[in-house]
Amino acid sequence: MTLYVAPAPSRPTGTPYPALVGVELRRLWWRRLTKVVLAMAVLLTGVALYGTYQSTSPDTIAERIDNFRQSTAQFPQMVKDCQQAEAQARESGDPAADFGCSRMPAPNAQDWGLVSPEAGALTAGLSGTNAYFYAFLAFVLAASFVGAEFSAGSLGTWLTFEPRRLRVASAKLVAAGLAGGAIAVLGLALTSLGAWFISRVNEPDPTLQLPAAASSDSLTQLLIRCVVAAVVAGIAGVALGLIVRNTGAIVGIVLGYGVIVEGLLAQGLAHGRLLPWLPLKNVEAFVERGSTYFAEVCGANGCQMEQMTVTYTHGWVYLLVAGVALVVVASAVFRRRDLG
Protein backbone atom coordinates (compact mmCIF):
# COMPACT_ATOMS: atom_id res chain seq x y z
CA MET A 1 0.00 0.00 0.00
CA THR A 2 1.39 3.42 -0.99
CA LEU A 3 0.98 6.27 1.42
CA TYR A 4 0.37 9.71 -0.02
CA VAL A 5 2.43 12.42 1.59
CA ALA A 6 1.23 15.91 0.94
CA PRO A 7 4.00 18.27 -0.14
CA ALA A 8 5.08 20.83 2.42
CA PRO A 9 3.62 24.22 1.72
CA SER A 10 6.07 26.51 0.02
CA ARG A 11 7.30 29.38 2.11
CA PRO A 12 6.08 32.71 0.78
CA THR A 13 8.89 34.70 -0.72
CA GLY A 14 7.18 38.07 -0.41
CA THR A 15 7.08 40.86 -2.97
CA PRO A 16 10.03 40.87 -5.39
CA TYR A 17 12.32 43.79 -4.65
CA PRO A 18 11.99 45.49 -8.09
CA ALA A 19 8.21 45.32 -7.70
CA LEU A 20 8.55 46.80 -4.22
CA VAL A 21 10.50 49.74 -5.60
CA GLY A 22 7.91 50.09 -8.36
CA VAL A 23 5.11 50.30 -5.81
CA GLU A 24 6.97 53.02 -3.91
CA LEU A 25 7.52 54.95 -7.14
CA ARG A 26 3.83 54.74 -8.02
CA ARG A 27 2.84 55.90 -4.55
CA LEU A 28 5.29 58.76 -4.84
CA TRP A 29 4.00 59.74 -8.29
CA TRP A 30 0.36 59.94 -7.21
CA ARG A 31 1.10 62.35 -4.39
CA ARG A 32 -0.12 65.89 -4.99
CA LEU A 33 3.16 67.38 -3.80
CA THR A 34 4.98 65.57 -6.60
CA LYS A 35 3.05 67.56 -9.21
CA VAL A 36 3.74 70.76 -7.28
CA VAL A 37 7.48 70.00 -7.14
CA LEU A 38 7.63 69.30 -10.87
CA ALA A 39 5.76 72.53 -11.60
CA MET A 40 8.18 74.47 -9.38
CA ALA A 41 11.17 72.91 -11.17
CA VAL A 42 9.74 73.96 -14.54
CA LEU A 43 8.89 77.43 -13.25
CA LEU A 44 12.35 78.02 -11.80
CA THR A 45 13.99 76.84 -15.00
CA GLY A 46 11.81 79.21 -17.02
CA VAL A 47 12.63 82.18 -14.79
CA ALA A 48 16.36 81.45 -14.99
CA LEU A 49 16.18 81.10 -18.78
CA TYR A 50 14.30 84.39 -19.09
CA GLY A 51 16.95 86.16 -17.02
CA THR A 52 19.66 84.71 -19.25
CA TYR A 53 17.76 85.79 -22.35
CA GLN A 54 17.57 89.35 -21.03
CA SER A 55 21.26 89.46 -20.07
CA THR A 56 22.41 88.21 -23.50
CA SER A 57 20.06 90.26 -25.66
CA PRO A 58 21.64 92.48 -28.37
CA ASP A 59 20.60 95.66 -26.52
CA THR A 60 22.28 94.50 -23.30
CA ILE A 61 25.44 93.49 -25.15
CA ALA A 62 25.56 96.87 -26.93
CA GLU A 63 25.27 98.69 -23.60
CA ARG A 64 28.06 96.60 -22.10
CA ILE A 65 30.28 97.29 -25.11
CA ASP A 66 29.79 101.05 -24.66
CA ASN A 67 30.66 100.80 -20.96
CA PHE A 68 33.70 98.64 -21.69
CA ARG A 69 35.02 101.06 -24.30
CA GLN A 70 34.48 103.98 -21.95
CA SER A 71 36.32 102.18 -19.15
CA THR A 72 39.17 101.27 -21.51
CA ALA A 73 39.52 104.90 -22.60
CA GLN A 74 39.60 106.09 -18.97
CA PHE A 75 42.07 103.49 -17.77
CA PRO A 76 45.31 105.37 -18.67
CA GLN A 77 44.07 108.43 -16.78
CA MET A 78 43.18 106.26 -13.77
CA VAL A 79 46.73 104.90 -13.70
CA LYS A 80 48.15 108.39 -14.02
CA ASP A 81 45.99 109.70 -11.16
CA CYS A 82 47.10 106.76 -9.02
CA GLN A 83 50.76 107.47 -9.72
CA GLN A 84 50.30 111.14 -8.84
CA ALA A 85 48.62 110.25 -5.55
CA GLU A 86 51.40 107.81 -4.80
CA ALA A 87 54.06 110.43 -5.52
CA GLN A 88 52.30 112.97 -3.26
CA ALA A 89 52.17 110.40 -0.45
CA ARG A 90 55.91 109.78 -0.76
CA GLU A 91 56.65 113.51 -0.77
CA SER A 92 54.52 113.87 2.37
CA GLY A 93 56.88 111.69 4.38
CA ASP A 94 55.95 108.13 3.47
CA PRO A 95 58.71 106.92 1.11
CA ALA A 96 57.36 103.34 1.21
CA ALA A 97 53.89 104.32 -0.07
CA ASP A 98 52.75 101.87 -2.73
CA PHE A 99 49.25 102.23 -4.17
CA GLY A 100 49.73 99.33 -6.60
CA CYS A 101 49.40 101.51 -9.67
CA SER A 102 51.53 99.20 -11.79
CA ARG A 103 49.37 96.25 -10.76
CA MET A 104 46.02 97.78 -11.65
CA PRO A 105 44.25 95.34 -14.00
CA ALA A 106 43.24 96.69 -17.35
CA PRO A 107 39.56 96.38 -18.31
CA ASN A 108 38.78 92.88 -19.53
CA ALA A 109 35.93 92.01 -21.89
CA GLN A 110 34.87 88.95 -19.91
CA ASP A 111 34.75 90.95 -16.67
CA TRP A 112 32.14 93.14 -18.34
CA GLY A 113 30.08 90.13 -19.41
CA LEU A 114 31.19 90.40 -23.03
CA VAL A 115 31.25 86.72 -23.95
CA SER A 116 29.60 84.89 -26.80
CA PRO A 117 26.26 83.36 -25.67
CA GLU A 118 27.08 79.83 -26.78
CA ALA A 119 24.66 77.05 -25.89
CA GLY A 120 27.21 75.00 -23.94
CA ALA A 121 28.39 77.91 -21.81
CA LEU A 122 24.84 79.04 -21.07
CA THR A 123 23.82 75.51 -20.13
CA ALA A 124 26.81 75.11 -17.82
CA GLY A 125 26.17 78.40 -16.04
CA LEU A 126 22.46 77.77 -15.53
CA SER A 127 22.87 74.12 -14.54
CA GLY A 128 25.49 74.86 -11.90
CA THR A 129 23.10 77.36 -10.29
CA ASN A 130 19.81 75.48 -10.67
CA ALA A 131 21.27 72.20 -9.39
CA TYR A 132 20.93 73.36 -5.77
CA PHE A 133 17.26 74.15 -6.22
CA TYR A 134 16.55 70.80 -7.89
CA ALA A 135 18.31 69.05 -5.01
CA PHE A 136 16.27 70.99 -2.45
CA LEU A 137 13.02 70.06 -4.22
CA ALA A 138 14.08 66.40 -4.25
CA PHE A 139 14.88 66.56 -0.55
CA VAL A 140 11.54 68.14 0.42
CA LEU A 141 9.56 65.69 -1.73
CA ALA A 142 11.34 62.66 -0.26
CA ALA A 143 11.08 63.88 3.32
CA SER A 144 7.37 64.61 2.97
CA PHE A 145 6.83 61.20 1.36
CA VAL A 146 7.96 59.38 4.51
CA GLY A 147 6.71 61.98 6.98
CA ALA A 148 3.18 61.81 5.56
CA GLU A 149 3.13 58.02 5.90
CA PHE A 150 4.10 58.24 9.56
CA SER A 151 1.50 60.96 10.22
CA ALA A 152 -1.32 59.10 8.44
CA GLY A 153 -0.40 55.69 9.88
CA SER A 154 -0.25 54.11 6.43
CA LEU A 155 3.28 52.86 7.00
CA GLY A 156 2.09 50.42 9.66
CA THR A 157 -0.51 49.05 7.25
CA TRP A 158 2.11 48.70 4.52
CA LEU A 159 4.35 46.69 6.87
CA THR A 160 1.59 44.11 7.34
CA PHE A 161 2.01 43.24 3.65
CA GLU A 162 5.81 43.49 3.66
CA PRO A 163 6.99 43.01 7.26
CA ARG A 164 10.71 43.12 6.50
CA ARG A 165 11.50 46.67 7.46
CA LEU A 166 14.94 46.94 5.91
CA ARG A 167 13.50 45.94 2.51
CA VAL A 168 10.80 48.59 2.88
CA ALA A 169 13.29 51.25 3.99
CA SER A 170 15.74 50.48 1.19
CA ALA A 171 12.93 50.50 -1.38
CA LYS A 172 11.88 53.95 -0.22
CA LEU A 173 15.49 55.15 -0.38
CA VAL A 174 15.89 53.85 -3.93
CA ALA A 175 12.55 55.29 -5.06
CA ALA A 176 13.37 58.70 -3.58
CA GLY A 177 16.78 58.69 -5.23
CA LEU A 178 15.24 57.87 -8.61
CA ALA A 179 12.61 60.58 -8.13
CA GLY A 180 15.28 63.14 -7.26
CA GLY A 181 17.24 62.17 -10.34
CA ALA A 182 14.10 62.51 -12.47
CA ILE A 183 13.48 66.05 -11.17
CA ALA A 184 17.04 67.05 -12.04
CA VAL A 185 16.91 65.40 -15.46
CA LEU A 186 13.68 67.25 -16.30
CA GLY A 187 15.08 70.59 -15.18
CA LEU A 188 18.43 70.11 -16.91
CA ALA A 189 16.78 68.96 -20.14
CA LEU A 190 14.64 72.10 -20.22
CA THR A 191 17.72 74.17 -19.35
CA SER A 192 19.72 72.70 -22.23
CA LEU A 193 16.86 73.20 -24.68
CA GLY A 194 16.28 76.77 -23.53
CA ALA A 195 20.00 77.60 -23.66
CA TRP A 196 20.18 76.32 -27.23
CA PHE A 197 17.19 78.48 -28.19
CA ILE A 198 18.67 81.57 -26.53
CA SER A 199 22.01 81.05 -28.28
CA ARG A 200 20.19 81.09 -31.62
CA VAL A 201 17.88 84.02 -30.91
CA ASN A 202 20.58 86.20 -29.32
CA GLU A 203 23.39 85.22 -31.65
CA PRO A 204 25.71 88.25 -31.68
CA ASP A 205 27.00 90.06 -34.71
CA PRO A 206 30.14 88.22 -35.92
CA THR A 207 31.92 91.55 -36.37
CA LEU A 208 31.90 92.04 -32.58
CA GLN A 209 34.23 89.04 -32.19
CA LEU A 210 33.07 88.29 -28.66
CA PRO A 211 35.31 85.79 -26.85
CA ALA A 212 34.00 82.40 -25.83
CA ALA A 213 33.39 81.79 -22.13
CA ALA A 214 36.38 80.10 -20.52
CA SER A 215 35.65 76.65 -19.11
CA SER A 216 37.91 73.84 -17.93
CA ASP A 217 35.12 71.39 -17.11
CA SER A 218 33.20 68.96 -19.26
CA LEU A 219 29.53 69.87 -19.70
CA THR A 220 28.51 66.22 -19.62
CA GLN A 221 30.33 65.62 -16.35
CA LEU A 222 28.76 68.76 -14.86
CA LEU A 223 25.26 67.58 -15.76
CA ILE A 224 25.96 64.15 -14.29
CA ARG A 225 27.13 65.72 -11.03
CA CYS A 226 23.97 67.85 -10.89
CA VAL A 227 21.81 64.73 -11.27
CA VAL A 228 23.85 62.85 -8.64
CA ALA A 229 23.38 65.76 -6.21
CA ALA A 230 19.59 65.52 -6.61
CA VAL A 231 19.71 61.73 -6.16
CA VAL A 232 21.68 62.09 -2.93
CA ALA A 233 19.29 64.81 -1.73
CA GLY A 234 16.32 62.49 -2.28
CA ILE A 235 17.99 59.69 -0.35
CA ALA A 236 18.89 62.10 2.46
CA GLY A 237 15.27 63.27 2.62
CA VAL A 238 13.97 59.74 3.17
CA ALA A 239 16.73 58.96 5.69
CA LEU A 240 15.87 62.01 7.78
CA GLY A 241 12.19 61.18 7.40
CA LEU A 242 12.78 57.74 8.89
CA ILE A 243 14.54 59.35 11.87
CA VAL A 244 12.40 62.45 12.54
CA ARG A 245 9.07 61.07 11.18
CA ASN A 246 7.48 64.48 10.65
CA THR A 247 7.69 66.60 7.50
CA GLY A 248 7.31 69.97 9.23
CA ALA A 249 10.00 69.11 11.76
CA ILE A 250 12.40 68.04 9.01
CA VAL A 251 11.92 71.23 7.00
CA GLY A 252 12.26 73.30 10.18
CA ILE A 253 15.47 71.53 11.16
CA VAL A 254 16.98 72.01 7.71
CA LEU A 255 16.01 75.69 7.45
CA GLY A 256 17.18 76.36 11.00
CA TYR A 257 20.47 74.64 10.28
CA GLY A 258 20.91 76.64 7.09
CA VAL A 259 20.28 79.97 8.78
CA ILE A 260 22.06 79.40 12.10
CA VAL A 261 24.94 77.08 11.26
CA GLU A 262 25.67 77.72 7.58
CA GLY A 263 24.66 81.37 7.67
CA LEU A 264 25.81 82.67 11.07
CA LEU A 265 28.16 80.27 12.84
CA ALA A 266 30.13 79.10 9.79
CA GLN A 267 32.20 82.29 9.67
CA GLY A 268 32.04 83.11 13.36
CA LEU A 269 33.30 79.81 14.75
CA ALA A 270 37.02 79.14 14.23
CA HIS A 271 37.24 82.20 11.96
CA GLY A 272 35.97 80.37 8.89
CA ARG A 273 38.04 77.20 9.31
CA LEU A 274 34.86 75.21 9.98
CA LEU A 275 33.51 75.70 6.45
CA PRO A 276 35.26 72.70 4.79
CA TRP A 277 33.48 70.38 7.23
CA LEU A 278 29.95 71.63 6.61
CA PRO A 279 27.65 69.96 4.04
CA LEU A 280 26.82 73.00 1.89
CA LYS A 281 30.43 73.86 1.06
CA ASN A 282 31.13 70.23 0.14
CA VAL A 283 28.05 70.06 -2.07
CA GLU A 284 29.35 73.16 -3.82
CA ALA A 285 32.80 71.59 -4.19
CA PHE A 286 31.23 68.45 -5.69
CA VAL A 287 28.89 70.19 -8.15
CA GLU A 288 31.33 72.89 -9.27
CA ARG A 289 34.42 70.66 -9.09
CA GLY A 290 36.05 72.69 -6.37
CA SER A 291 35.11 75.61 -4.14
CA THR A 292 36.80 78.45 -2.28
CA TYR A 293 36.26 80.15 1.06
CA PHE A 294 38.02 82.68 3.28
CA ALA A 295 39.51 81.70 6.63
CA GLU A 296 41.89 83.31 9.11
CA VAL A 297 45.47 82.08 8.86
CA CYS A 298 48.03 83.04 11.49
CA GLY A 299 51.77 83.16 10.91
CA ALA A 300 54.89 85.04 11.87
CA ASN A 301 53.44 88.29 10.50
CA GLY A 302 50.16 87.98 12.39
CA CYS A 303 46.71 86.73 11.39
CA GLN A 304 44.92 87.59 8.17
CA MET A 305 42.06 86.27 6.02
CA GLU A 306 43.21 84.15 3.10
CA GLN A 307 41.39 82.35 0.33
CA MET A 308 41.33 78.59 0.85
CA THR A 309 40.16 75.75 -1.39
CA VAL A 310 37.85 72.77 -0.89
CA THR A 311 38.84 70.25 -3.54
CA TYR A 312 36.50 68.13 -5.63
CA THR A 313 37.88 64.96 -4.03
CA HIS A 314 37.27 66.35 -0.55
CA GLY A 315 33.70 67.17 -1.56
CA TRP A 316 32.63 63.80 -2.93
CA VAL A 317 34.43 61.81 -0.21
CA TYR A 318 32.73 63.92 2.49
CA LEU A 319 29.30 63.49 0.91
CA LEU A 320 29.80 59.75 0.41
CA VAL A 321 30.82 59.14 4.03
CA ALA A 322 28.10 61.41 5.42
CA GLY A 323 25.45 59.85 3.17
CA VAL A 324 26.35 56.28 4.09
CA ALA A 325 26.40 57.14 7.80
CA LEU A 326 22.99 58.82 7.55
CA VAL A 327 21.45 55.85 5.72
CA VAL A 328 22.89 53.35 8.22
CA VAL A 329 21.56 55.33 11.21
CA ALA A 330 18.15 55.80 9.59
CA SER A 331 17.85 52.08 8.75
CA ALA A 332 18.84 51.07 12.28
CA VAL A 333 16.34 53.49 13.85
CA PHE A 334 13.52 52.37 11.54
CA ARG A 335 14.27 48.69 12.18
CA ARG A 336 14.17 48.96 15.98
CA ARG A 337 11.83 51.82 16.84
CA ASP A 338 8.09 51.38 17.28
CA LEU A 339 5.87 53.06 14.70
CA GLY A 340 3.47 54.47 17.24
pTM to 2 decimal places: 0.82
pLDDT in tens, 6-55: 555 554 455 688 888 888 889 888 889 999 999 999 999 999 999 988 88
Ordered DSSP codes for 65-86:
HHHHHHHHHHHHHHHHHHHHHH
pLDDT in tens, 277-309: 889 899 999 999 988 888 777 776 667 777 888
CA–CA separation, 159 vs 157, rounded Å? 5
Q: Per-residue pLDDT tens for 172-206? A: 999 999 999 999 999 999 999 999 999 888 777 66
**Nearest-angstrom CA–CA distance, 234 and 185:** 14
User: What would the DSSP string read from start to end of 31-54?
Assistant: SHHHHHHHHHHHHHHHHHHHHHHH
- What is the Cα Rg of the chain in Å? 28
Segments making up each domain of the chain, as ranges: 23-56+117-203+215-336
